[in-house]
Amino acid sequence: MGLIVQKFGGTSVADAERIHRAAKRAIATQSRGNQVVVVVSAMGDATDDLIELAKKVCTYGGVDTTPPKREMDQLLVTGEQVTIALMAMAIHAQGNQAISFTGGQIGLVTDDAFSKAKIQSINKQRIFEQLEKGRIVIVAGFQGMTADGDYTTLGRGGSNATLVAVGAVLKADVCENFTDVDGIFTADPRIVKNARKIDRISYDEMLELSGLGASVLQTRAVEFAKKYNVPLHVRNSQNETEGTWIVAETPNMEHIVVSGVALKKDLIRVTLKSVPDRPGIAARIFGEIAAANIVVDDIIQNVMDDNTANISFTVEHGELNDVKPIVDALVKELGGKLGPTYHSDLAKVSVVGAGMRVHTGVAQRMFKALADARINIQNITTSEIKISCIIAKEDGPKALQIIHDAFELGKA
Amino acid sequence: MGLIVQKFGGTSVADAERIHRAAKRAIATQSRGNQVVVVVSAMGDATDDLIELAKKVCTYGGVDTTPPKREMDQLLVTGEQVTIALMAMAIHAQGNQAISFTGGQIGLVTDDAFSKAKIQSINKQRIFEQLEKGRIVIVAGFQGMTADGDYTTLGRGGSNATLVAVGAVLKADVCENFTDVDGIFTADPRIVKNARKIDRISYDEMLELSGLGASVLQTRAVEFAKKYNVPLHVRNSQNETEGTWIVAETPNMEHIVVSGVALKKDLIRVTLKSVPDRPGIAARIFGEIAAANIVVDDIIQNVMDDNTANISFTVEHGELNDVKPIVDALVKELGGKLGPTYHSDLAKVSVVGAGMRVHTGVAQRMFKALADARINIQNITTSEIKISCIIAKEDGPKALQIIHDAFELGKA
């Protein structure tokens, strides 16, 4: 007996048959005495198809224009709305009761940062009313509504953000994230063949891994789960295998020095050269970038002899169009002598493990593995439980494999 | 200078190119100094595709189930939402400003009769705010929202209902209904080859024609236009030709005895035999049918010698599944001796003209034309400005042509 929130991603609801399989799973969970809320993504390629359609419409007279972000979100939210209605119909066809809700209909209020909005609140009342009637409640992932009633989307991994946010407000016993893989692996199994499924991992480790390019769960979803202490269970929608549990850290997790390695594939390093070295400059730069809702990856600053500083930071390649006008304007205003440079084709390889807090020699082992493979390290950044190296993009997959091997992660 | 509401149907927004053509038209109208609101339908076959998808999901284990109507509406409203976003993007790509609204976003509140909801109110404030900013306002046709926040659809021709309702609350100077034909014709041109475009027609005549199966405009839209005295202009989205103006009746319209003929193709006659002939029975029967939101076409009642009555009425073929359980239960309860009969394969052919009020001999001319062609008349019903005959479905197209010829409607 409990309250379980389940999420089915796009591939798990890609056609009528798979929707029925997901519906069956939700019904089975309910029949074991649980209240069940189901969060769904858009069907298969539905979102990509909508983006394609928008691109076509935004090309006029041979010129590409950028669609207004509000209208893009107005368009994209329809993808999940289709799935929730079909999922409710599927559950009904299987003889059970269900009701579907868009983000707006459960009062999932966000800010107005269209295309990457942040959840501000959810009205749990409407969900509980329906659960108490014995219905399975279907919620559209990835979307919300501003206080003014404009539709918003939550950005990449938004459906997972919905999963955890709904789980948190309902104080769910577990959030089950159904995907097409068996769980979280010690490395991306598409790159590292001997990668192994992890049974349990702490929120902090998962946070580092998801922030570093392990794409099953996004940072935001894990942060939310940690904050509200909601256990997350990442599992395969096609089988009954136990997946990976993401939970609060327990003392015996420290025995594992490195839990996993991750690769972030497509980074750009922006460098502002010879910026005046006075207090407040960094705050100014990164304040403006944050205000534009651009996520900065790593920051490196070196002070030079002439009282100027070189400030570098990395962002994902896709952010370049957003970040460039801001940086160019700032450099002009701040009087950088040597205009900004944009260095693309970078990758970041990282090792993550709660055990690093008590074990030494992890960094040395990582650097040696890279050196032995003649892979050049361009930058290094660290946290309490991770070490990252910026390398050339082309070296990424190889680096991931050799570090995975260096820590013997393929062995049980 | 005025306020113009334009509606583009599904075929006029079926792909990116046509959306741009419609956008261009709206922009041209605005550039002539008008404020412009655009109502759009779902793209081409989008609604049919969604219905297909729902059908697939509602078939489980080889059994067809009926989807919950609320979920069907939750699904279908996405069709128009896609179009409004794309239309706003298209206008933006052409260098103008636009903003899109779903039914819910302009406070288009309906009752909760899912799949054929009725409009209760529209919040014009949000539209006016945007018009005053110089934007073209795009509104999703066919849809609304209940006071509880559930999505509803307005039933067949719902986009036209939206067009006229929006025109009415904004006190628009004209509602332009863009379709793929040049206007309203004296008969369906797909059946009657010499059918002619009508330049002006009164609301009442159009009401009879649309109620009788002339499918360009639905009864509801015309009723609304009449009630709020909004001039309707039905025209072709592919050319600049003047279409048909639907306006309040003027004295010289009486010179035209018959404006048009119409055919309703697929009717079913339900007969309740030997029902006790006491007051209140008819009210009871049609009360229950109306409560189920089923539209009754014609009603015929004959009192018999034994103090019982035969009550017949016609409904569209598609309503049979909804109407049958109600009628069967009623007959059981009322003690009809001879259970209900359902007579299918019927059609109704009608002549309509405001001039009938002052001209005689119209009925005789119609009946004679049918008799000469050896078409049997099963029932006759009349109003002030129309005469209808129920005939066999197979005689429908022929009857339409010969009546069109009998009144010489093909001649200018």
- Convert the pLDDT of each residue in B309-330 to its tens digit: 888 899 988 888 889 999 988 8
Q: Does A3-180 match A261-406 in CATH topology?
A: no
What are the boundaries of each domain within chain A? 3-180, 261-406
- pLDDT given at position B123: 95
Q: From CA A14, how far away is CA A157, in angstroms rounded?
A: 17
CA distance to partner chain A, nearest, from residue B364 (Å): 53
Instruction: Report CA A195 to chain centroid distance, whole Å.
Output: 20
Q: From CA B158, how far away is CA B191, in angstroms rounded?
A: 25
Tell me how far CA of residue B312 lies from CA of A85, A366, B301, B319, B393, in angstroms: 38, 87, 6, 15, 18
pLDDT at position A208 over 90? no
Phi then psi for residue B176, to 5 deg, are: -100, 120
- pLDDT given at position A77: 98
What confidence category does residue B307 fall into, taking pLDDT thresholds of 50, 70 and 90? Answer: confident
Give residue B231's region: left, alpha or beta (phi > 0; psi -120 to 50).
beta
Q: Which 3 state secondary structure label does DSSP give A363?
A: helix
Q: From CA A407, how far away is CA A355, in angstroms rounded?
A: 13
- Residues near A360 by beta carbon (within 8 Å), at least 6 away in sequence: none
Helix A46-58 and helix B16-31, axial crossing angle in degrees, nearest 10: 50
Domain B3-180 in CATH 3.40.50.620? The answer is no
User: Which of B179, B180, B9 shows the shortest CA–CA distance to B80?
Assistant: B9
- pLDDT given at position B331: 85
Residues of B in contact with A104 (CB under 8 A): 104, 149
CA angle A51, A57, A63 (to 5 degrees): 110
Is B59 an interface residue toward A (CB < 8 Å)?
yes
Q: What percentage of chain A reaches a pLDDT higher than 90?
A: 68
- pLDDT given at position B301: 77
Residue A185's CB: how many other CB atoms inside 10 A?
22
Is B381 an interface residue toward A (CB < 8 Å)?
no
Tell me how far CA of residue B310 lies from CA of B30, B267, B277, B378, in angstroms: 58, 19, 9, 15
Q: From CA B121, how far away is CA B126, in angstroms rounded?
A: 13
Are the C-beta atoms of residues A369 and A363 closer than 8 Å to each other? no
User: Which of A157, A278, A173 shows the shortest CA–CA distance to A232?
Assistant: A173
Residues of A in contact with B81 (CB under 8 A): 74-75, 77-78, 81
Q: Which residue from B58, B67, B85 is facing A75, i.e. has the nearest CB?
A: B85
- Which letter does DSSP use for residue B357 in this model? G
Residue tagged 């190119």 (tokens): B17
- pLDDT given at position B317: 87
- Residues near A89 by beta carbon (within 8 Å), at least 6 away in sequence: B54, B57, B58, B65, B67, B68, B71, B72, B75
Is A115 an interface residue toward B (CB < 8 Å)?
no
First to last CA, chain A: 33
Residues of A in contact with B55 (CB under 8 A): none
- Residues near A350 by beta carbon (within 8 Å), at least 6 away in sequence: A208, A212, A261, A262, A263, A264, A386, A387, A388, A389
Phi then psi for residue A279, to 5 deg, are: -60, 145
What confidence category does residue B230 fall into, taking pLDDT thresholds of 50, 70 and 90? Answer: very high
Domain B261-406 in CATH 3.30.500.10? The answer is no
Are the C-beta atoms of residues B76 and B116 closer than 8 Å to each other? no
Tokens of A341: 């440079």
Is B290 an interface residue toward A (CB < 8 Å)?
no
Residues of B in contact with A72 (CB under 8 A): 85, 89
Phi then psi for residue A52, to 5 deg, are: -60, -45
- pLDDT given at position A330: 86
Q: Which residue from B57, B65, B77 is facing A86, i.e. has the nearest CB?
A: B57
Window 23-52 of B, Cβ < 8 Å to A: 50
User: Which of B190, B179, B184 shows the shortest CA–CA distance to B202?
Assistant: B184
- Which letter does DSSP use for residue B79 in this model? H
Q: From CA A105, how far away is CA B169, in angstroms rounded?
A: 26
Please list the alpha-helical segments (H only) found in A228-319: 281-291
CA distance to partner chain B, nearest, from residue A158 (Å): 19
Q: Is the pTM of this model over 0.95?
A: no
Comparing A39-48, A83-92, A275-284, B190-199, the range with the smallest average pLDDT is: A275-284
pLDDT, tens digit, 9 for 90 and up, residues B276-288: 777 788 888 888 8
Q: Which residue from B54, B93, B102 is facing A86, i.e. has the nearest CB?
A: B54
Is A89 an interface residue toward B (CB < 8 Å)?
yes
pLDDT, tens digit, 9 for 90 and up, residues A268-325: 999 888 887 777 888 888 888 888 888 888 888 777 777 788 888 999 888 888 899 9
**A94 CB-contact burial (10 Å; exposed 0-12 / middle 13-18 / buried 19+):** middle
- Which letter does DSSP use for residue A240 in this model? -
Q: From CA B397, how far away is CA B135, in angstroms rounded?
A: 46
For the stretch B403-408, contacts whose Cβ atoms lie closer than 8 Å and that sit 24 or more positions apart, written own/partner, are B403/B261, B403/B349, B403/B351, B403/B366, B403/B369, B403/B370, B404/B186, B404/B187, B404/B192, B404/B194, B404/B195, B404/B261, B405/B369, B406/B365, B406/B366, B406/B368, B406/B369, B407/B257, B407/B258, B407/B261, B407/B351, B407/B365
Tell me how far CA of residue B271 lies from CA of B297, B304, B311, in angstroms: 13, 14, 6
